[in-house]
Chains A and B, each alone.
Chain A
């Protein structure tokens, strides 16, 4: 199995499209950081203007941690697209190029081939999230330095410098789990068609529709929100609550993991029975 995973990773990282995600992050994140470097102080002053009437602010609030927090929030919507470029191609790409015929006539079970592809896709997904963390945190700290993290949601919470890194580590971990769901969904779609455009568009369409539904505060939508996986993808923010709602985080994590398992199982059932006609 390890040999098969190595082969799949070799194939992934030999494709140009696999580097689009890494390049996009390497370009986008610094662009956001430069914009915040130029305008961030004004934005922060605007957001905290009411507070400043009552409190005296001392220290560097526009720091690498705040930038990483903002980048994480803004890019977790866009990263799925970069992931599906690769994971949506894992199976459909074999059909498009005609290599299914060679691959599936080898003395290896379809289950093993599918599992190796799935694991390779997950490794790619997690490495992309790790790259996002490295660029947004690393570059952010280099440009803006470190300091306390101010998080403005319904409340305003300020975290001490030594109380931040573990929260980011877990938030990125949770983000990676969310992206695993996206990868699994596009992998499922990839098993159904013979062109990788289909899985990319279908996955993104579902994510966009679910996010729109999640953001509309209508009673009917409120009742279906718990069934939308996108609803749980944003729960990485819970790691920046004080106190931490561990039960809610664990519940969200289990639900997302459940989606990964269900999507993978469905793909396996389809793939094992699939007639290779291409």
Chain B
């Protein structure tokens, strides 16, 4: 593992009058990471990203990017970052080409026509380079946002919910691009999302935050695979099956039994054994759905937020 810290956030807090959007947040992102930044809507993800990019000032705490204080070295560190913050908005009255040229120049790279066209090609927009951005769909703007973020060849790419509003193919394209940028171009990627599955597919490390504070942080594989599973079993004779499970499997803990379903927690290794037992006993099984506890927890967070 590379130990060079690209992002180092210590005790970061942001208060808006009585509302604490981010509360004593700590996180580290290392060079080469694809870092998933997860949380339900309103968890403080965008506020954190805005502080990282100097769009808003923290109430307290420190942000270091590339080992340097953001406050003292703002322009230097921002020059190494490409970002999309929330939805990518451009000057609608200008063409895709003009927008990239403007943002490239402001980023200090004075992009050549070849470079702009290469980036548009990378995101599949080279044929629309003359079109005004106001004629673009949301997905096209997202892709143009990525081209803009990559134009000055940054070391760190910050993507704030880049797949929001995209169709399944658009989501896959973005994921493929993230993987390409990480593996082939050795970029460090900070990916904010409220979809655990999306992060799981591309990230190696992640953090989940809620109400502005850290819930859990670590390697994606460790966090998702080590935890026990929440299992929903849909079958006949639920009461006798529930009793059988507790008697025969030590790690099984029944959480609820309804007319047709049993909800219980169990280790991953117990699932095939339970399946085998039910078949041997001739019990009709309609579904056996294991959900990882972290995923369940995250779902609870997002469901609570929806309500």
Contacts and interface: CB of A to CB of B under 8 A. Distances in A.
- A and B together in one complex: yes
Given A14-B94, A16-B93, A105-B54, A98 B103 contact: no
Contact of A98 (B78, B81, B89): B89
Query: How big is the B interface, by class?
Result: 20 to 34
Interface secondary structure of B, over-half rule? loop
Given A101-B55, A106-B106, A106-B107, A14 B90 contact: no
A102 B79 contact: no
A273 B57 CA distance: 8
Interface string B204-247: 00000000000000000000000000000000000000000000
Contacts, number: 74
A105 B105 contact: no
Interface in B50-73: 50, 53-57
Contact of A102 (B75, B105, B148): B148
B108 A11 contact: no
A4 B98 CA distance: 14
A107 B87 contact: no
Interface in A96-150: 97-109
A7 B102 CA distance: 7
B25 to A, nearest CB: 17
Given A14-B93, A106-B107, A107-B79, A275 B55 contact: yes
B93 to A, nearest CB: 6
A107 B76 contact: yes
Contacts of A10: 98, 102
A137 B76 CA distance: 51
Given A15-B93, A16-B93, A109-B74, A98 B79 contact: no
Contact of A11 (B75, B78, B102): B102
Contacts of A102: 85, 88-90, 103, 148
B75 A109 contact: yes
B24 interface: no
Contacts of A7: 102, 105-106
A105 B91 contact: no
B178 interface: no
B54 A99 contact: no
B54 A107 contact: no
Interface in A257-278: 273, 275-277
A54 interface: no
19 contacts: A3-B105, A4-B106, A7-B102, A11-B94, A98-B89, A101-B55, A102-B88, A102-B89, A102-B148, A105-B81, A105-B83, A106-B108, A107-B78, A107-B79, A109-B74, A273-B57, A275-B55, A276-B50, A277-B56
Question: Which 6 A/B pairs are nearest by Cβ-Cβ distance?
Answer: A98-B89, A107-B79, A275-B56, A276-B55, A105-B53, A107-B75
Given A97-B92, A107-B76, A108-B108, 6 more contacts: A97-B91, A105-B55, A108-B106, A109-B74, A275-B56, A275-B57
